[in-house]
Amino acid sequence: MDKHQTEPVDDSISLLDLIIIPLKRKKTVLSITVVFVVVTAVVSLLMPEIYMAKTRILRPQQESSAVVSKLLSQFGGAAATAAGLFGLNSPNALYMALLTSRPVMEAVVERFDLVKQYGADTVLAASEQLSSNVKVRSSSWSGIITISVYDRDPRLAADIANALVEELKNLTKRLAITEAAQRRVFFGERLKETREALIKAEKEMADFKAKTGVLKLDAQAKAVISAISSMRAKIAEKEVQLKVMRTYSAPNNPDLQKLEETLKGLRAELRKLETGEGNGNGYDYLMSTGGMPEVSIEYIRRLRELNFTEELYNLFLKQYEAARLDEGRDAVMIQVLEKAIPPEKRIKPKRRRMVMIAAFAGFVFSVLVSFLLEYMDKVSKSPAYRTKVETLKKHLSLRPDR
């Protein structure tokens, strides 16, 4: 056999080696494992203690779900079906989004002065940090919404959790979430506009009478003007109702179609009253300039406008009060199932778990290191390895060849 030929190094690992090698290098295994444990323990002690406080609220009323479904129905059945599958028309999804909205977060930040507490520069930055410390979950089968707040101070965590529910209630009072609330807001705006128009019409009529003197109309003229004003007010009311209904109803809604037909009929009746069709007692007769002075015509116009505005104001007032009653009946009641209390135990860091995981990881890593060291020792003792090392030293030598 050639003297330069050597037997190859056996680098295979038997089942017995899995036990022998770690025991042989038990100091290395123990040292690495202890280092892992000590470092992890020190890090866990330096980490801030975080507490979690949580509160639970009951599922809100289902009215809001119906409103969302009506809105989605305008885009067709496929959109409504898809929204239902993904829970977009769920009232819980709506309130979960409201809980984490900027108005709610900023209100809580200002209440507890969290800008200073978090060391933030602005209210917006503190709101974003608070949002990251708040987790909102919903149970699919019970509908209960759970609000969890994480903070270093257990009492502050509980106070923030309860404050979030209070601010959610305040926000829902300001927003028109239900259909009745939407009608109340809409008719409230129209009522305010009509009230201003009525005050203006009354003032103009008073100024006109003071300037021209008091005029008197016969019973027939007053009846025609009253009828025309009343009909115009009813038409305006139906137009507003139609506009509101179109915001949450599909075009093929039977109630919407019925309201459109009613509006057409009222407009036809108004045309008959204005032209005197069928009875000869129309508004054209009153406004004919042949037998009436110009001041009387102007008086009739102002009186008609005043009567119309009064009728419209009364109709809007009735609609507004009806919407308020409906809103009170269908109001979303947010009920607290469990009020948040200061937690006694921290939620993190979980020091015992961290140390146990570190010990296991350190042991596994140390065993791998021991196998690596064993292999390197075995290889370094082989003649072939020494020959290769000598050759490498020769080529890396810095001395120039002579």
Between strands 51-57 and 134-138, the pairing is unpaired
| 100 alpha-carbon distance from chain centroid | 6
pLDDT confidence of residue 402: 45
pLDDT confidence of residue 42: 92
Whole-angstrom Cα distance, residue 337 to residue 54? 11
Structural domains in the chain plus CATH codes: 51-177 (3.30.1890), 179-329 (no CATH)
Buried b (16+ CB within 10 A) or exposed e, 270-308: beebbeeeeeeebbeebeeeeeeeeebeebbebbbbbbb
CA dihedral 187, 192, 196, 202 (to 10 degrees): 60
pLDDT confidence of residue 292: 45
pLDDT confidence of residue 249: 67
Question: What is the full per-residue pLDDT of the chain (402 aa) written as tens digits?
Answer: 444 444 454 555 566 767 787 888 888 889 999 999 999 999 988 888 889 999 999 866 554 444 444 444 444 444 444 444 444 445 678 788 888 889 999 999 999 999 988 888 899 999 999 999 999 998 877 778 999 999 999 999 999 999 999 998 888 777 655 666 777 777 788 888 888 888 888 888 787 777 776 555 556 566 666 777 777 777 877 777 777 777 666 677 777 778 888 888 887 877 776 665 545 455 454 444 344 456 566 766 777 777 778 877 887 788 788 877 776 665 556 788 889 999 988 888 888 899 999 999 999 999 898 888 877 777 777 777 667 667 766 767 655 554
